[in-house]
Structure 1
């Protein structure tokens, strides 16, 4: 039965995820190729987004090396709802976004190796802003994003040492529109920009686990993403527009403006992490990422007063399980998670760094007597600043994920 459920859910969600646009409401998604989305499970996000920890039941989407410890066929899917308050020091606006965030299937192919494949968002674009004075009104809108299909494998080289790699195909499109009207003028102007982004990227990971006492285990990990050239096919339209009595806009005199296609390096990154814990009881770890965003460019058009610098991320978090095998108390088998993250996005606007932080916590609820579980995650955070007339975002994210586990490919033996 679980096999049928997994196949049905994957088919339904794959179709909706492929067509999903605008998994963000951030004005900062205009820059680069959109706001970078978290690509891990909600179990990891509840621990500050840390990809250091994994076990034999839950799929880790952040470090392929950890597939070497997988013991069960695991299907995972997650979705979220985000409430965002945007303010610039004068005005304030509320918006919300609901998305399907990931789906993946993994299975062990031996006692020392596992593979996984799935679909996750890479970046998202979604904003609708206006700027007006007594004469001119400008509205800016954008939608789209880049998704990623991945195939990953992990292998236990020797006891406690795991290595892995992922091959990713990144695809999607980003659409930006600027509409300008002038009081007293019969016609306005509209400019549309579209970038179709395609390209392959690779990731490599390693992890080492070691018991340092009878109860305490030390874990360390590293992940490297090499810089990879990605193609952006760019198109631009400029037109005059007329506004009717209903406020609708009709294009006239549409002109296709030649814009060259661009190839840019998707930035390289290095992530290192370390943590300490008692197996099946508790764990706490820290993780640091440096991403070379300073090599990045803004697709097919230039931006004034904007530059890209190297991005850094710091994450810390962990979990606690009172008694994972308790038969008398359900609450003692619940996994309690919490974490913190601070990120420098690498985007600098008007000499202001666009930074982000989040505080998260969550619960992992066992589902019946099986190994399946439902995970709830809640995060409060902030992005940006009101300095220099910029926008600050305060957000609340509620996510839920389902992790289904089963045993496949097991041959029955009869005596």
Structure 2
């Protein structure tokens, strides 16, 4: 088991060096890019609901859940995204495959649990072209790539059989680069602007989880998580130069360019998540969760973007799971976990006076592996973000996500030497 984890870490760190593009959305132009859902496939398949945790799955959204683990868990998740971009007159398609997270969680004692992990926090990845039919008018091409990764460590503690608390520290790091070229075909030269930002900073997440039986079979669940406002430090570079744009759109710099360097600070808004659910343990559960984020305090990396504003964002999630018979020995499908959910979000982004909203429906399966507690989790999401109003882009997306969760017992004291 340890060898598998070490090999997994090596593969994952290698994958990060490839600078994977986690999005193809033009909305990733703003801020630090698309903020990626921080959650395991198990929770994502339930619309993002995280009010429930058990002894063999890692709940990445609330650090209090780490105290519930009874076995060491190693989990890695990946996502395939199929995106269709629509305007009032055109449509394009894009695809991305990414690694979503790699996490190791360990039950340190009967009351304590700890976790370490690495995952992307935000992603930038867009290619936009606006070629004017009139060669005497301006045309533009825009590119962006990079993002912010997050290394985290968390600790959960069970106060008693009903209440647990937890805390998590996150180190954020990464690079974002954007490239814009503007030119008029009938004029020999155009202009290129290169912007890059090196990002780093620390933020925290605190959580609590509660459960209590309300009848002989039914258990009530509750959870709350809070991330206070924090600061990201940015080292920025901007290079503006004259370029020659060839007929096949190759860009050839004509001079060294003007280099501007600056440092800035970007606020990560505070976030409050609270939810509740009810169910029969190892049988079924339904829950709902509300996320409130003070996004109105957010800003862009640069101050000369005029068509965007930010408002406080909210997200509502609803979902649950069902297991026909978790301890069935002769019918595999009865041991499968069936999940489904729905979520709706006001993202907090306002472009051309239009709020950018996002909603999706999810389904998933938890497939046990042999006679162990390990499992494969598969999920599917269909959703829509944005609008074609005000010259904007509507995104219709399909996500297929999968995770491998391996469980084992560590730190077991041997009875015999």
TM-score (norm 2): 0.97
Aligned-residue offset at 1:185: 1.4
Aligned-residue offset at 1:184: 1.4
Give the whole-Å Cα distance in 2 for the aligned partners of 1:18 and 1:345. 29
**1:352-372 Cα deviation digits (max 9, x unpaired):** 000100100000000111111
Give the whole-Å Cα distance in 2 for the aligned partners of 1:199 and 1:399. 28
Aligned-residue offset at 1:393: 0.2
Matched, 1:250 2:249: no
Give the whole-Å Cα distance in 1 for the aligned partners of 2:97 and 2:385. 18
Partner of residue 237, structure 1: 239
> Does the Cα contact within 8 Å between 1:281 and 1:323 map onto a contact in 2?
yes
2:376 to 374, 378, 403: 374
Q: Is there any run of 5+ residues in structure 1 with no aligned partner, and where?
A: none
Partner of residue 67, structure 2: 68
> Does the Cα contact within 8 Å between 1:216 and 1:276 map onto a contact in 2?
yes
1:172 to 167, 171, 174: 174
Aligned-residue offset at 1:351: 1.1
Please identify, of 93-102 and 292-301, the stretch whose mean Cα deviation from structure 2 is larger: 292-301
Aligned-residue offset at 1:198: 0.5
Q: CA RMSD in A?
A: 1.2
Aligned-residue offset at 1:20: 2.6
> Does the Cα contact within 8 Å between 1:74 and 1:105 map onto a contact in 2?
yes
Give the whole-Å Cα distance in 2 for the aligned partners of 1:240 and 1:302. 20
| Structure 1 residue matching 2:255: 3-state secondary structure | strand
Partner of residue 283, structure 1: 285
> Does the Cα contact within 8 Å between 1:234 and 1:300 map onto a contact in 2?
no
2:221 to 214, 219, 222: 219
* Matched residues, number: 414
- After superposition, residues 249-268 of structure 1 pair within 5 angstroms as 249-268=251-270
Aligned-residue offset at 1:246: 5.2
Aligned-residue offset at 1:15: 2.1
Give the whole-Å Cα distance in 2 for the aligned partners of 1:22 and 1:291. 25
Give the whole-Å Cα distance in 2 for the aligned partners of 1:369 and 1:20. 37
Matched, 1:112 2:111: yes
Aligned-residue offset at 1:259: 4.3
Aligned-residue offset at 1:255: 2.1
- After superposition, residues 45-84 of structure 1 pair within 5 angstroms as 45-84=44-83
Matched, 1:271 2:273: yes
Give the whole-Å Cα distance in 1 for the aligned partners of 2:275 and 2:248. 56
TM-score (norm 1): 0.98
Give the whole-Å Cα distance in 2 for the aligned partners of 1:187 and 1:334. 62
Partner of residue 344, structure 2: 342
Please identify, of 309-318 and 10-19, the stretch whose mean Cα deviation from structure 2 is larger: 10-19
- After superposition, residues 144-155 of structure 1 pair within 5 angstroms as 144-155=146-157
1:359 to 358, 361, 371: 361
Please identify, of 15-24 and 126-135, the stretch whose mean Cα deviation from structure 2 is larger: 15-24
| Structure 2 residue matching 1:143: 3-state secondary structure | strand
> Does the Cα contact within 8 Å between 1:309 and 1:348 map onto a contact in 2?
yes
Partner of residue 31, structure 2: 32
> Does the Cα contact within 8 Å between 2:242 and 2:257 map onto a contact in 1?
no
**1:119-142 Cα deviation digits (max 9, x unpaired):** 011111111011232122101110
Give the whole-Å Cα distance in 2 for the aligned partners of 1:354 and 1:397. 19
Matched, 1:16 2:15: yes
Give the whole-Å Cα distance in 2 for the aligned partners of 1:366 and 1:62. 23
**1:136-194 Cα deviation digits (max 9, x unpaired):** 21011101111100000000011210000000000011111111121211212110111
Partner of residue 159, structure 2: 157
Aligned-residue offset at 1:241: 1.2
**1:28-74 Cα deviation digits (max 9, x unpaired):** 00111111101111111100011222100001111000111110000
**1:317-345 Cα deviation digits (max 9, x unpaired):** 01000000001100000000000000111
2:387 to 385, 388, 393: 385
| Structure 1 residue matching 2:70: 3-state secondary structure | coil
Aligned-residue offset at 1:243: 3.2
Partner of residue 127, structure 1: 126
> Does the Cα contact within 8 Å between 2:356 and 2:386 map onto a contact in 1?
yes
| Structure 2 residue matching 1:413: 3-state secondary structure | coil
